[in-house]
Amino acid sequence: MMPARMYDLTALKAPVEQTPVVCRDLVSAQDFSPEETKSLFELSHIIKHRPADFRGALAGKQLVLFFEKASLRTRLTFEAGMASLGGTSLFMDQTRSLLGEREPVRDIARNVERWVDAVVLRTFAHSTIVEMAHHTCIPVINALSDLEHPCQAFADFFTLEEKFGDLSQIHMAYVGDGNNVAHSLMLAAAALGTSISIATPEGYAPDAEIVATAKRIGRTTGAFIEITHDAVKAVTGANAIYTDVWTSMGQEAEAAARTAIFTPYQVNEQLFSHAAPHAVFMHCLPAHRGEEVTASVIDSPRSIVFDQAENRMHIQKAILLLLLGSGMRTSPPRSNHA
């Protein structure tokens, strides 16, 4: 039998006392102040053009991704982005068993905070993300919920800034369902001083509380927030026209009824003719050609949908750096949506 090995522990350093920090989350687009949102964009520009400068920035950090919904862009951009920063990603497929079904979300939260450095969630219920953030001491990032899609919205306006420059001079028109994407676009537009018009059918307008919050923020930044049922009014003179699918995951039973209701809100050549001559088309993808947008629009040179998709990775790398590697993990204004 081999003799037990003896270890000299005297060389180990005593633990260094650290000042406790308050964890920051990205549950809602409003969790980043207007100043922080602008800083996020500045960092994203640097990361995109000088990626080598950030290799190893998150070395040793581990990220867990809990996904209740299928994903292409969200999963790959987070995993590729984390890897390029030197960190590791762990993927948990929750498409067959939603978070909270096997054990309470609060128990999951208290477990994962002992193993990893941050949590990314793509869920149906927004309350799942709120509960996870409430019960864990590590950053929680909303990668999509039924109420918001903040990473997408930040990437979208970052793309517009690349295209047009000063976002305070931009008018975005969103046409379609007043859904999670519309909510985060409004909040991001408000923070950035961008004007946005949301055109939806009656009964499908955005959440009234989020509209009120966006307008309140907009009064301090100069953003104009408009809610209408008139698609032509919304897109007239717009620099960008944005749409999303009419039926989101989990709403499949409503597909036929929604198609009949939303058909007048299709983004086609006729609707696009009311926008500014230089206007671009935007979509968070996946798109259903022939439904919310025609192939002639999404496949035209004015479409920037793949630029948006690329920028998801750059903006999310900046989010990870800010939440895991900077003084942004202090004094958080927690969003009120549950």
Q: And the tokens for 211?
A: 């509209």
Average pLDDT taken over every residue of the chain: 91
**Residues that are catalytic:** 122, 149, 152, 244, 284, 312
Q: Taking 90 as the threshold, does the pLDDT of residue 331 lie above it?
A: no
Assigned architecture for domain 29-148+311-325: 3-Layer(aba) Sandwich (3.40)
Q: Taking 90 as the threshold, does the pLDDT of residue 337 lie above it?
A: no
Q: How confident is the model at residue 326, as a pLDDT? A: 57
pLDDT, tens digit (0-9, with 9 covering 90-100), for 141-191 = 999 999 999 999 999 999 999 999 999 999 999 999 999 999 999 999 999
Tally of CB atoms within 10 A around 137: 12
pLDDT, tens digit (0-9, with 9 covering 90-100), for 30-69 = 999 999 999 999 999 999 999 999 999 999 999 999 999 9
Domain 152-309 has CATH 3.40.50.1370: yes
The DSSP result for 187-248, as a single string, is: HHHHHHT-EEEEE--TT-PPPHHHHHHHHHHHHHHT--EEEES-HHHHHTT-SEEEE--SS-
Q: How confident is the model at residue 248, as a pLDDT? A: 81
pLDDT, tens digit (0-9, with 9 covering 90-100), for 185-212 = 999 999 999 999 999 999 999 999 999 9
CA dist 242 and 236 (Å) reads 13
Q: How confident is the model at residue 22, as a pLDDT? A: 54
Which residue has 């790398």 as its token pair?
Answer: 317
CA 16 to chain centre: 36
Judge if 29-148+311-325 and 152-309 fold alike in CATH terms. Answer: yes
Sign of the CA dihedral with 248 first, then 204, 178, and 286 last: positive
pLDDT, tens digit (0-9, with 9 covering 90-100), for 59-108 = 999 999 999 999 999 999 999 999 999 999 999 999 999 999 999 999 99
Q: Between 188 and 19, whose confidence is greater?
A: 188
Q: And the tokens for 100?
A: 């909270």
Reported confidence tier of residue 249, pLDDT bands at 50, 70, 90: confident
Task: Answer whether 155's CB lies under 8 Å from 311's CB.
Answer: yes
CA dist 177 and 254 (Å) reads 13
Q: Taking 80 as the threshold, does the pLDDT of residue 12 lie above it?
A: no
What does the pLDDT average to over 259-268?
97
- What are the structural domain ranges in the chain? 29-148+311-325, 152-309
What does the pLDDT average to over 226-247?
97
